Amino acid sequence: MTKNYWWSGVTRDVKKYMNRCDIYQKMKNQTEALDFITKLLLITGKDAILVVCNKLSKMIYFAVTTEETLAE
């Protein structure tokens, strides 16, 4: 993700976004371990970020994708 979207404090800002997101806060205790950040500027055909949370290692992974991507 940081190849296309990077700024100083990107991880901190994404964590802040997730903590303020009502949908994420309602769903974070469920078994789903992924989320999408959408409505970004279109760069190299990508306009969304897939956020995958590994609950075992407490790591968060980011992948650049498009809004048309389905969680399935």
Residues 6+ apart with CB under 8 A from 34: 50, 51, 52, 53, 71
Tell me, yes or no, whether 1 lies in a domain: no
Tell me, yes or no, whether 45 lies in a domain: yes
Tell me, yes or no, whether 17 lies in a domain: yes
What SS3 state is found at 62?
strand
What SS3 state is found at 53?
strand
Give the number of domains in the chain: 1
- List, for residues 3-54, the tens digit of each pLDDT value: 677 778 888 887 888 777 776 666 655 555 578 888 888 888 999 988 888 7
pLDDT for 8 equals 82
pLDDT top residue among 2 and 52: 52
pLDDT for 70 equals 75
Tell me, yes or no, whether 2 lies in a domain: no
**Domain of 39?**
10-65
Tell me, yes or no, whether 20 lies in a domain: yes
